[in-house]
């Protein structure tokens, strides 16, 4: 972690433009249903304010696709931030228009302004240079603390850095340290658990991890593509037919590198995708033709736990079953509960659905680190350059 951080810049009296990830879930009444991302941004926000800066916050929410849509307004975020910070957070009606300019023109030290959803303007995602310049003109320093969008080269995540002295916040610093340290200097044995729907979503991640881990545990629907690669029948389970040869190659690569690649030994199946479907547990190579695999079975849970018991570093990305449906959340919950018991092990949850599963199970505080980035975490694990971090100068 050798990037310039907020600690390295004199912020006293300066206007600071900070990119946060306030892409929070809202219910039908536009109430925030999960404040995790707001809470995660508070340490950097509070530090900047304590340094006597004038703070201009920006973020996206949802996918308005360049249009102003009320359901994607950051108004609920401004309200919640005001509560969390114990001071008024003024919401601009626009991003670089009259309202934003008026609210940011005569700020005092300690003032906080939140710009409206940056994705209301199509130039944000296009990383338009003129839009970036105008956004940067509101401030004197740029801070990126939105790890969840660091893999996007957008105006507010990368473009503005060309016009302002730039630094990263504590959230990005923590992500780089925790994820980076686990990948590059893991205490061994190093075990990775990968779940999710598709092998195609995780090709780069699997390839990267096979160069780093001692054991790779596979779960989720992508296991069925590996089963087919081994000649098993998979019933109605989700299989990527065009990735069967790739799965064979990955199995061969693991063997050649001496990495133990573990697939489920039994599978919990359902007749259909629903809460009240009939269920059946079978050996992984015996899935009946008219059944679909939705979760790992009890033998797989015990097998995976026996490997995790020896681990000193665990990286988990992706649930091992359809955890949204109660009958098929057992495997994912069992993994989460077991990781929570490992006191002598570094447990890194790689964002996205696995982070949601751990949070839903009430075990977030038992993990070493839960990443705030889904796609960003995957690309970081894969070894890709993240534009929102690359643009921050090195110390």
Question: Using an 8 Å Cβ cutoff, are 332 and 320 in contact?
Answer: yes
DSSP 222-279: HHHHHHHHTT---TT----GGGHHHHHHHHHHHHHHT-EEE--SEEEEESSSSTT--E
Which ranges in 258-363 belong to alpha helices (H)?
298-308, 330-341, 352-360
Of 196, 225, 210, 212, whose CA–CA distance to 316 is shortest? Answer: 196
Closest CA to 355 of 336, 381, 341: 336
Element (H, E) at 296: strand 292-296
Q: Which is nearest to 112 in space by CA: 164, 183, 54?
A: 54
352 part of the active site: yes
Retrieve residue 318's tokens: 């992706």
Q: Is 331 a catalytic residue?
A: no
In angstroms, the CA 216 to CA 194 distance is 7
Contact 18, 145 (CB under 8 A): yes
Q: What token pair was written down for 394?
A: 């090195």
Which residue among the candidates 235, 321, 352, 388 is catalytic per the annotation? 352
Residue 367, C-beta contacts closer than 8 angstroms, at least 6 positions apart:
339, 340, 347, 348, 349, 358
SS3 59: coil
Catalytic site residue from 79, 101, 198, 253: 198
Put the strands of the sheet holding 279-283 in their side by side order: 279-283, 266-270, 292-296
The single residue listed with the structure tokens 């338009």 is 128
Q: Which of 37, 152, 202, 268 is catalytic?
A: 37
C-alpha span between 18 and 347 (Å, rounded)? 29
Four-CA torsion 23, 26, 32, 36, nearest 10 degrees: -40
Helix, coil or strand: residue 159? helix
Burial class for 45, CB neighbours closer than 10 Å (0-12, 13-18, 19+): buried
Reply yes or no: is the peptide bond before residue 262 cis, omega within 30 of 0: no
Query: Could you say which of 62, 97, 204, 375 is catalytic?
Result: 375
Catalytic residue set: 37, 198, 352, 375
């Amino acid at each position: 972690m050798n990037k310039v951080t907020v600690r390295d810049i004199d912020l006293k009296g300066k206007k600071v433009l900070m990119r946060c990830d306030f892409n929070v879930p809202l219910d039908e009444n536009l109430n925030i249903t999960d404040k995790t991302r707001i809470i995660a941004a508070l340490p950097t926000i509070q530090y900047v304010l304590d340094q006597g800066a004038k703070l201009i916050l920006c973020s996206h929410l949802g996918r308005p696709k360049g249009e102003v849509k009320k359901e994607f307004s950051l108004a609920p975020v401004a309200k919640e931030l005001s509560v969390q910070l114990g001071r008024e957070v003024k919401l601009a009606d626009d991003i670089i228009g009259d309202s934003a300019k008026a609210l940011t023109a005569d700020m005092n030290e300690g003032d906080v302004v939140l710009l409206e959803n940056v994705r209301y303007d199509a130039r944000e995602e296009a990383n338009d240079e003129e839009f970036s310049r105008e956004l940067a003109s509101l401030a004197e320093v740029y801070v990126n603390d939105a790890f969840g969008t660091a893999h996007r080269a957008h105006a507010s995540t990368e473009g503005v850095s060309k016009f302002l002295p730039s630094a990263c916040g504590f959230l990005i610093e923590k992500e780089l340290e925790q994820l980076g340290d686990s990948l590059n200097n893991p205490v061994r044995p190093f075990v990775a658990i990968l779940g999710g729907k598709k092998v195609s979503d995780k090709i780069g991640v699997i390839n990267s991890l096979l160069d780093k881990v001692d054991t790779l545990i596979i779960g989720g629907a992508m296991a069925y593509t590996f089963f087919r690669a081994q000649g098993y029948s998979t019933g109605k389970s989700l299989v990527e037919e065009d990735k069967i040869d790739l799965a064979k190659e990955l199995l061969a690569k693991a063997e050649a590198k001496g990495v133990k690649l573990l697939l489920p030994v039994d599978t919990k199946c359902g007749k259909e995708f629903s809460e009240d479907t009939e269920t059946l547990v079978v050996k992984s190579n015996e899935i009946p033709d008219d059944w679909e695999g939705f979760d790992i079975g009890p033998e797989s849970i015990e097998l995976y736990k026996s490997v995790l018991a020896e681990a000193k570093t665990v990286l988990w990305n992706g649930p091992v079953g359809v955890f949204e449906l109660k009958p098929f959340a057992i495997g994912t919950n069992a993994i989460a509960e077991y990781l929570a018991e490992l006191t002598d092990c570094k447990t890194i949850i790689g964002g996205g659905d696995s982070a949601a599963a751990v949070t839903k199970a009430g075990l977030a505080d038992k993990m070493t680190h839960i990443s705030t980035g889904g796609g960003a975490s995957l690309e970081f694990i894969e070894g890709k350059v993240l534009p929102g971090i690359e643009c921050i100068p090195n110390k």
